[in-house]
């Protein structure tokens, strides 16, 4: 069929962590539109992922929702086992789940630092390991894509633990990309700038903060979750077979902002 020939992820099976909202929801939906069977990972009460599931259903896509805290190895392994049972294997793993709390460094509570580390860095470590073990067992390669941030490079005052986790994700990706290359498993990061999602609710609700942010973005606007999802489709597709260990920034030029120069 003409339409299915256009699909970039036909026959692939993908897990997207934290895909009940924001960028993860967009990736899950766009992947389903591209022909992938999708596992919508979420935390929280049953029904949390219903919005994503109904968006996928509306376009005739294939998806199930599975509750798993990304920092918990048993829950992550159970999610992978459920994926294999439902769809026959695993081809693509998207580490998208992430959190942030902001405080000045001198006042940052260590408990919040630990929570951010657990979700944003231990989570991808646990998930990459479990996903790669499954992919190695299958013997047909695979794709791991981590949703990092411009803050894997760019400091953000009041957000030190978040920046530290994204910097850690940068080196986790580079290191395991080398270790997994013999298995034809590629590992890449996407580094978004300011994307309009619930994680930035504080800035979205404050006109002065939003104006200040927009002044830092050469393209002068928020990015859309779907724009990040389209990049993820490319990285997950056969077209990106020769890319590994890289970060692709998608930030409206924010990292290249020349300020008052």
Stretch that binds ligand NAD, among 51-59, 137-145, 198-206, 208-216 (CB under 6 A): 198-206
Provide the H-helix boundaries in 59-159: 73-87, 110-117, 123-138
Nearest 10 degrees: CA dihedral of 180, 172, 115, 150? Answer: -120
Q: Does 22 bind ligand NAD (CB under 6 A)?
A: yes
Q: Does 199 bind ligand NAD (CB under 6 A)?
A: yes
Q: For residues 33 and 9, what is the distance between their CA atoms, to the nearest angstrom?
A: 9
Q: For the residues of 48-65, what is the DSSP string, one character each?
A: TTHHHHHHHHHTT-EEEE
What the block records as the tokens of 79 is 């999610």
Q: How far is the CB of 112 from ligand NAD (least distance, A)?
A: 13
Q: In this chain, which of 15, 17, 121, 132 binds ligand NAD, going by CB under 6 A?
A: 17
Catalytic sites, residue numbers: 162
Q: Does 124 bind ligand NAD (CB under 6 A)?
A: no
Q: Does 98 bind ligand NAD (CB under 6 A)?
A: yes
Q: In this chain, which of 38, 43, 116, 232 binds ligand NAD, going by CB under 6 A?
A: 43
The residue (of 201 and 261) whose beta carbon lies closer to ligand NAD is 201
Task: Please say whether the beta carbons of 189 and 169 come within 8 A.
Answer: yes
The residue (of 142 and 225) whose beta carbon lies closer to ligand NAD is 225
Q: Does 168 bind ligand NAD (CB under 6 A)?
A: no
In the chain, count H helices and then E strands: 10, 7
Q: How far is the CB of 4 from ligand NAD (least distance, A)?
A: 29
Q: How far is the CB of 204 from ligand NAD (least distance, A)?
A: 10
Task: Please say whether the beta carbons of 194 and 252 come within 8 A.
Answer: yes
The residue (of 96 and 247) whose beta carbon lies closer to ligand NAD is 96
Centre a 10 Å sphere on the Cβ of residue 46 and count the other Cβ atoms it contains: 9
Q: Does 149 bind ligand NAD (CB under 6 A)?
A: yes
Q: Does 194 bind ligand NAD (CB under 6 A)?
A: yes
**Closest to 92 (Cα-Cα) out of 146, 54, 42:** 146
Task: Please say whether the beta carbons of 154 and 137 come within 8 A.
Answer: no
Q: Which residues make up the interface to ligand NAD (CB under 6 A)?
A: 17-18, 20-24, 41, 43, 69-71, 96-99, 119, 147, 149, 192, 194-195, 197-200
């Amino acid at each position: 069929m003409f339409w299915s020939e256009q699909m970039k992820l036909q026959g692939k099976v993908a897990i997207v962590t934290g895909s009940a909202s924001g960028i993860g929801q967009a990736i899950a939906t766009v992947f389903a539109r591209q022909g992938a069977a999708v596992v919508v990972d979420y935390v929280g009460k049953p029904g949390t992922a219903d919005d994503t599931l109904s968006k996928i259903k509306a376009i005739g896509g294939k998806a199930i929702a599975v509750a798993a805290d990304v920092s918990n190895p048993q829950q992550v392994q159970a999610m992978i086992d459920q994926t294999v049972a439902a769809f026959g294997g695993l081809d693509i793993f998207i580490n998208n789940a992430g959190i942030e709390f902001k405080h000045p460094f001198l006042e940052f509570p260590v408990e919040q630092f630990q929570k951010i580390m657990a979700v944003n860095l231990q989570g991808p470590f646990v998930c990459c390991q479990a996903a790669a073990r499954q992919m190695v067992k299958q013997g047909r390669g695979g794709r791991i894509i981590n949703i990092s941030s411009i803050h894997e490079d760019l400091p953000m005052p009041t957000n030190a633990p978040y920046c530290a986790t994204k910097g850690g994700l940068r080196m986790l990706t580079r290191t395991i990309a080398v270790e997994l290359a013999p298995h034809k498993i590629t590992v890449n990061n996407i580094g978004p700038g300011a994307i309009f999602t619930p994680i930035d609710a504080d800035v979205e609700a404050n006109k002065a903060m939003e104006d200040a942010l927009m002044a830092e973005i050469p393209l002068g606007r928020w990015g859309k979750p779907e724009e990040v999802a389209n990049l993820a489709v490319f990285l997950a597709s056969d077209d990106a077979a020769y890319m590994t260990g890289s970060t692709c920034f998608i930030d409206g030029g924010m990292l290249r902002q020349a300020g008052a120069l």
